[in-house]
Amino acid sequence: MSALIAGVLGGLIISAVQTVTTGPLIHQAEKYETTSSVTPAGGRKQPPQMQAKQDVHAHAFAIAGLHDHAAAWAPEEGPQRVFFTIITNVIVGVGFALLVVAGFALSGRRVDVSSGVLWGLGGFTVFTLAPGLGLPPELPGTAAAELAARQGWWIFAALATALGLWLMIFTENILLRLAGVLSLVLPHAVGAPHSPTLTNAVPPELAAHFASSSIVTAAIFWVLLGSIAAIAYGRLDKSVEVGSADPT
């Protein structure tokens, strides 16, 4: 229930934030994309109108640090697009909130708004910041490596970062903490997959603006998610109330 509350509220709020951050940049990029045929991974060119429809999900993927260049369907421009963007953000929010709340339970530590924000920043580091160092958020019309390779590296980076942070924060053994540092570095030592061609339809300034806006938007999303989840978790978990009650 805590995850559901945090995911719904976080998804709704971040959808509003995206209308003034990443949204206008995506629309600009789609205009560039329709004027040129971008060669995706594998060397196959696609019709510009298909490329424009394929990147409707960029809003939701941006908050997670994910990049989708191969969606087969996307809603039409207008209310339908807005509706499905909000629904996708809410679903993504609930999924990530479940992980945050699971972290609350597994850590066994006291949960309040401050610790919730810290858990949110941890999620931001795991799912956006660390993977974004190798695969920054991309606009429609950006050349990219094969989707499967990018997804595999993203999962690898997220898991390694999560393990590294856990070892560094929740263990006392110096060797385990050093192993945590190595786990943080390992994905970037291996390196993320990139497109063999650097030909892009969008200007580099626009791409850089989108990457920075996506990262800031994701940070807002994760702080909201952690803090709301912590408030809901503290109010709904009866064991927290019983454990803090005066036995007299």
0.85 surpassed by pTM: no
Going by C-beta distance under 8 Å and a sequence separation of 6 or more, which residues neighbour residue 46? 37, 38, 40, 54
Give the pLDDT band (50/70/90) at residue 48.
very low
Give the pLDDT band (50/70/90) at residue 62.
low
The angle at the Cα of 29, spanning 80 to 215, to the nearest 5 degrees, equals: 85
User: pLDDT value at position 78?
Assistant: 77
Residue with tokens 């920075």: 212
Q: How many CA atoms lie within 13 A of 211 on its CB side?
A: 17
Distance of alpha carbon 183 from its chain centroid, rounded? 20
**Rounded mean pLDDT, 56-84:** 62
| CA distance linking residue 217 with residue 212, whole number of Å | 9
Contact 112, 234 (CB under 8 A): yes
Give the pLDDT band (50/70/90) at residue 51.
very low
Which is higher by pLDDT, 204 or 52?
Answer: 204
Task: Tell me how far CA of residue 190 lies from CA of 66, 123, 151, 199, in angstroms.
Answer: 19, 22, 15, 24
